[in-house]
Amino acid sequence: MTGRLIDVLSVVLLLVALLAFAGGIYSLGIAKDVQALYLLIIGALALRSATDLLRPAGGVR
């Protein structure tokens, strides 16, 4: 059950990353550079979290 919740979390994080990257690029287009940088950082962290949930350190790769 917990494993399924983590699967859902990784999918949600993937979608958060997708939306954050899209928002970051959109913000660059409307000249909101700080907001763009913030959203791109959020996207990178969310995507890293999503993949780290599948790749435990020292575990199965």
Provide the token pair at 58. 């020292």
Three-class secondary structure of residue 28 per DSSP: helix
Alpha-carbon distances, residue 57 vs 11, 12, 54 (angstroms) = 20, 21, 10
The answer to whether residue 40 forms part of the interface with another protein (CB under 8 A) is yes
The answer to whether residue 28 forms part of the interface with another protein (CB under 8 A) is yes
Least distance between another protein and beta carbon 23 (Å): 9
Rg of the chain taking only CA atoms, in angstroms? 14
Give me the residues that bind another protein (CB under 8 A), please: 2-3, 5-7, 10-11, 13-15, 17-19, 21-22, 24-26, 28-29, 31, 33, 38, 40-43, 45-57, 59-60
